[in-house]
């Protein structure tokens, strides 16, 4: 039996050919066709061509891959959990187009398409107020309770409402008396609001927020609505970056990109309303703003009046940012909690100063490989540069480079004596290239690593030195490194000093280098004809 093709015409006179079998899902179409279709066009005046094309697409696809029934109310806000993926993608369209498709499905009496489109509408209206729903579906204000509203529209809205979770609205009132309607779910992101309304599903009283002005409340409502649909990832402490865009989505980073006064007001309101996620976000922003600033600068930045400073604190003006944030010293109790939270997030870098006055910044984690710095640091590091009197600017730059890389790619331990003369045999490429520098710089690096008590860098630099002195006697080593013809007495060599001569084997570093070099010194054999051959100590022992 050949397939029967039906011609259907849209309201704007666009003609489509559809298999009769695909139209069986439309009771309206089937009633018009009857049992004996004679090939005439079937007019559908209430559906335009664009929407009719979508309807036909659905009917054809649903014929081969039936959608199935959708449970009410919806068990999930993600349609992909409820219907086949093609159905979920099919209704991923703008709201105005969705409404037209709902109307067409209702007009043509296509139950499956009507349920699918209304389910999509139900997910869209979740958490929205009556006014927002009216705006979404272009329902005039005067039609809301008007008996003249078409029954077709009422049926659609009723079906959509039946599928959607019941949207309970809470009315929040600012200290100026302005009231705002917010969905219960969004409002309850605030611990204060949640404690006020409790478990009362029928709560309809206003929630007064006497410490929050209208402008700030509008911001908070925007945050809660967005967080309700797109939760913000938890912020780690300390912050891994000074750029919020690296830590949260663009929406949240832009949300706190505001005037400092507004930001501080937002923090106070978030703290008052007990909105932890917003408090974390705003304080993270503060942490990026106050990094490296003194307490005076912080007070000026946030316009904290002098009278807010606690009396009796004579050292307040000398306090640094982390002292303010960690201890709250120099500020009133009104501001302490906020700066303390910001302080737990702040990733204040350590500032190192070379003997030439150049300052470098490095994270606490990266510089932790220096025992010298670690012993000088305390939890309340005040941001003052740490002077390294025996380290030049060039060497400090190298050391900072080493430390930063070592955070992400730890340098393996160097076995002593060395197992190979090729550093690439036991070290990653970065560390091999790191010590591929002039011999004078290698010695300076050894001295600097020893002075800063960096065991891993000292081992690396000594290993490189051991390779350089391979096969040389003490006099040749001194000449190679432009050292004095006679070594200094051991008593005159400072164990941690910059004057340390690495070729002086009686000192601590000299011994390390010598131990590294042990396996690198080959045995030199000379034939009776004067020809010299080199062979490893291990091989010669055979």
Contact at 8 Å (CB) between 73 and 165? yes
Host H or E run for residue 15:
strand 15-19
517: left (phi over 0), alpha (psi -120 to 50) or beta: alpha
Average pLDDT rounded to a whole number, residues 83-90: 90
Lowest mean pLDDT among 43-47, 108-112, 134-138, 524-528: 134-138
- Count CB atoms within 10 A of the CB of residue 397: 14
Residue-wise pLDDT for 294-308, tens only, equals 556 666 776 666 554
Q: Residue 428's pLDDT band (boundaries 50, 70, 90)? A: very high
Which pLDDT score, from 0 to 100, does residue 477 have?
A: 74
Q: What is the pLDDT of residue 412?
A: 92
Of 343-347, 436-440, 449-453, 459-463, the range with the lowest mean pLDDT is 343-347
260-264, 416-420, 439-443, range with the lowest pLDDT? 416-420
Residue 99's alpha-carbon distances to 3, 29, 111, 327, in angstroms, are: 33, 21, 15, 57
First to last CA, the chain: 95
Q: Which of 52, 71, 50 is nearest to 6 (CA)?
A: 52
Residue 34 and residue 36: Cα distance in Å, rounded?
A: 6
- The Cα–Cα gap between 423 and 463 comes to 8
Residue 345, pLDDT > 70, answer no
| pLDDT tens for each residue of 37-54 | 777 888 888 899 999 999
Q: Which residue has the tokens 């070729």?
A: 503
> What is the 3-state secondary structure of 380-397?
CCCCCCEECCCCCHHHHH
pLDDT of 496 reads 35
Structural fold of domain 168-226: Potassium Channel Kv1.1; Chain A (3.30.710)
The band of 505, judged by pLDDT with boundaries at 50, 70 and 90, is very low
Fold classification of 393-524 is Potassium Channel Kv1.1; Chain A (3.30.710)
- Residue 48 is given by DSSP the state -
Considering the chain, tell me which residue range(s) the CATH 3.30.710.10 domain(s) occupy. Answer: 5-163, 168-226
* Alpha-carbon span 463 to 426, nearest angstrom: 11
State the pLDDT at residue 12.
92
Q: Which of 57-71, 258-272, 290-304, 395-409 has the lowest mean pLDDT?
A: 290-304
Per DSSP (E only), the strands in 446-528 are 523-526
Q: What are the contacts of 13-19 at 24+ separation with CB within 8 A?
A: 14/48, 14/49, 14/52, 14/53, 15/41, 16/52, 16/53, 16/56, 18/56, 18/59, 18/60, 19/60, 19/63
| Cα(108)–Cα(517) distance, integer angstroms | 90
What pLDDT is attached to residue 501?
A: 38
Lowest mean pLDDT among 122-131, 159-168, 365-374, 495-504: 495-504
Pair 319, 326: CB distance under 8 Å: no
Per-residue pLDDT at 145: 47
What are 351's two structure tokens?
A: 């500032």
- Cα–Cα distance for residue pair 342/264, rounded to 1 Å: 12
Split at pLDDT 50, 70, 90, the class of 432 is very high
User: Which of 4-8, 191-195, 299-303 is modeled with the greatest confidence?
Assistant: 191-195
Among 17-21, 288-292, 377-381, 523-527, where is mean pLDDT lowest? 377-381
Q: What are phi and psi of 481, to 5 degrees?
A: -100, 15
Q: What is the CA radius of gyration of the chain?
A: 38
Question: Is 60 exceeded by the pLDDT of residue 254?
Answer: yes
Mean pLDDT (whole number) for 1-9: 80
The average pLDDT across 95-114 equals 89
pLDDT at res. 223: 94
Angstrom distance (rounded) from CA 129 to CA 437: 68
Tokens representing 282? Answer: 């705003």
pLDDT on residue 52: 92
Rounded to whole angstroms, the Cα distance separating 169 from 175 reads 20
DSSP characters over 188-252? TTSHHHHHHHTT-TT--SEEE-TT--HHHHHHHHHHHHHHHHSPPPPPPSS-S-S-GGGTS-HHH
Q: Is 228 in contact with 279 (CB distance < 8 Å)?
A: no
For residues 176 and 527, what is the distance between their CA atoms, to the nearest angstrom? 103
Going by the DSSP 8-state scheme, the letter that residue 69 receives in this structure is P
Which one of 3.40.50.150, 3.30.710.10, 3.10.20.30, 3.40.50.300 gives the CATH number of domain 5-163?
A: 3.30.710.10
- Any idea of the CA torsion for 121, 123, 129, 133, to the nearest 10 degrees? -10
> Which tops the pLDDT comparison, 505 or 471?
471
- The yes-or-no verdict on residue 347 having pLDDT over 60 is no
Strand order in the sheet with 5-10: 15-19, 5-10, 42-44
Q: In the structure encoding, which two tokens stand for residue 504, read together?
A: 């002086």
At residue 314, does pLDDT exceed 60? no
**For residues 276 and 510, which has the higher predicted lDDT (pLDDT)?**
276
Instruction: Look up the pTM and report it.
Output: 0.43
């Amino acid at each position: 039996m050949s397939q029967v093709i039906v011609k259907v015409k849209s309201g704007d006179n666009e003609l489509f050919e559809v298999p009769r079998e695909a139209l069986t899902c439309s009771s309206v179409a089937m009633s018009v066709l009857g049992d004996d279709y004679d090939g005439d066009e079937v007019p559908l005046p209430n559906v335009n061509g664009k929407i009719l094309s979508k309807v036909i697409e659905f009917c054809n696809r649903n014929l081969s891959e039936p959608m199935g029934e959708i449970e009410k109310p919806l068990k999930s806000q993600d349609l992909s959990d409820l219907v086949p993926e093609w159905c979920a993608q099919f209704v991923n369209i703008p709201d105005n187009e969705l409404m037209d498709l709902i109307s067409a499905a209702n007009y043509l009496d296509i139950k499956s398409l009507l349920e699918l489109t209304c389910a999509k509408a139900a997910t869209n209206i979740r958490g929205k107020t009556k006014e927002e729903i009216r705006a979404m579906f272009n329902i005039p204000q005067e039609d809301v309770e008007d008996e003249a509203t078409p029954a077709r529209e009422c049926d659609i809205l009723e079906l959509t409402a039946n599928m959607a979770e019941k949207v309970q609205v809470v009315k929040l009132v600012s200290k100026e008396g302005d009231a705002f309607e917010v969905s219960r779910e969004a409002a309850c992101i605030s611990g204060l609001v949640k404690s006020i309304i409790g478990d009362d599903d029928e709560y309809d009283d206003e929630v007064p927020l006497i410490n929050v002005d209208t402008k700030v409340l509008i911001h908070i409502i925007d945050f809660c609505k967005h967080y309700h649909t797109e939760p913000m990832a938890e912020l780690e402490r300390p912050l891994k970056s000074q750029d919020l865009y690296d830590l949260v989505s663009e929406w949240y980073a832009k949300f706190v990109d505001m005037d400092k006064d507004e930001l501080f007001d937002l923090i106070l309101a978030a703290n008052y309303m007990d909105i932890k996620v917003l408090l974390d976000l705003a304080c993270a922003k503060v942490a990026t703003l106050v990094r490296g600033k003194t307490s005076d600068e912080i007070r000026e930045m946030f316009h904290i009046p002098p009278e807010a400073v606690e009396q009796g604190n004579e050292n307040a003006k000398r306090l640094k940012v982390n002292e303010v944030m960690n201890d709250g010293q120099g500020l009133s109790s009104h501001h302490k909690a906020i700066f303390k939270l910001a302080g737990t997030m702040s990733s204040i870098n350590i500032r190192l100063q070379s003997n030439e006055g150049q300052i470098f910044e490095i994270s606490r984690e990266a510089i932790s490989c220096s025992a010298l710095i670690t012993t000088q640091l305390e939890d309340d590091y005040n941001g003052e540069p740490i002077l390294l009197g025996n380290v030049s600017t060039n060497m400090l730059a190298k050391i900072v480079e080493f430390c930063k890389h070592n955070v992400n790619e730890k340098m393996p331990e160097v076995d002593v004596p060395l197992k190979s003369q090729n550093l690439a045999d036991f070290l990653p490429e970065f560390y091999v290239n790191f010590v591929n520098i002039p011999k004078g710089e290698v010695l300076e690096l050894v001295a600097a690593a020893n002075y800063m008590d960096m065991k891993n860098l000292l081992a690396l630099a000594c290993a490189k030195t051991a390779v350089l002195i391979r096969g040389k006697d003490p006099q040749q080593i001194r000449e190679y490194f432009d050292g004095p013809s006679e070594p200094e007495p051991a008593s005159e060599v400072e164990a941690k000093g910059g004057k340390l001569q690495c070729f002086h084997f009686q000192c601590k570093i000299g011994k390390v280098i010598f131990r590294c070099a042990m396996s690198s010194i080959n045995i030199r054999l000379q034939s009776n004809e004067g020809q010299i051959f080199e062979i490893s100590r291990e091989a010669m022992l055979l």
